[in-house]
Amino acid sequence: MSAVLSARMNPRQRLIRRFYTMMGLLMTLGFSFPVCADGITRLRSFMESTRTGQADFVQQVTSREGKPMTPLSGRLSFMRPGQFRWEVQKPYKQLILADGHEVWLWDADLNQATMKSQQKALGASPAAILAGDVQKLDADFKLVEGGTSESLEWVDAFPRSKDIGFERIRLGFSGAELVRMELKDSFGQVTHITLSHFDKSPIRNALERFQFRPPAGADIIRE
């Protein structure tokens, strides 16, 4: 069913869905890990420790035929439990913000804000299923050491459910830090995310940073 619905989506809808999935994944996993014996151990250890973080990102989607789409870049931040900000700065302005209860997608060019419950928005994503619970991670994903390539140590997460929309999530580590993510969807598209300048110190003005107030006159869509 998920594959059928995805096939009917227009490019903007597919982009939004991909953002929701990536957002959930980042909320769950975060970006920087303590030094441990292997990638899977780092993942488990992180999910029990890190509470906040910020990083720059560059996102590149590659089509099934291997054609790269326009890259996106911006800044992301998170604060557990359940607060996340994914801000695209180039080549256009777009914001996805989760405040712990609702998820907002703000498109400045359209002057349009889409809002849905956080549970609903992330419910179909692999990351949201994890919910920061190590035992849930094992129940919903098969974790496999991905070996070493491009000077990074990789971990592969395969969804146990066949109705998720993503076939595999790869996490690439450089030392103690997560610097690359790759998400392959059911249609063969691969989303590459590169993270840099990670900062896990307390976030200033966190209360305001994880709240969204639509500008006056904006078109509000509730789903």
- pLDDT per residue, tens digit, the chain (223 aa), is 333 334 445 555 556 656 655 555 555 555 444 444 577 777 666 667 767 788 899 999 999 899 999 999 999 888 877 788 889 999 999 998 888 888 899 998 899 999 988 876 664 454 443 434 556 677 778 889 888 889 888 888 888 877 767 788 888 887 777 788 898 888 889 999 999 998 888 888 888 899 999 888 899 999 8
Domains of the chain in start order, with CATH, are 2-222 (2.50.20.10)
Contact between residue 17 and residue 105 where contact means Cβ atoms under 8 Å apart: no
Residues facing 208 on adjacent strands: none
**Inter-CA distances, 110 with 16, 89, 216, Å:** 14, 15, 13
Contact between residue 172 and residue 180 where contact means Cβ atoms under 8 Å apart: yes
Measured N-to-C along each axis, helices 39-47 and 11-29 cross at an angle, to the nearest 10 degrees, of 80
Residue 51 half-sphere exposure toward CB, CA atoms < 13 A = 4
Tokens of 196: 């840099």
Query: What is the pTM assigned to this prediction?
Result: 0.76
How far apart (Å, rounded) are the C-alpha atoms in residues 172 and 170? Answer: 7
- What's the first-to-final CA gap in the chain, in angstroms? 19
Residue 1 pLDDT: 39
How far apart (Å, rounded) are the C-alpha atoms in residues 117 and 66? Answer: 34
Beta strands in the chain (DSSP E): 52-62, 72-79, 83-90, 94-99, 102-107, 112-117, 141-149, 152-159, 166-174, 177-185, 190-199, 219-222
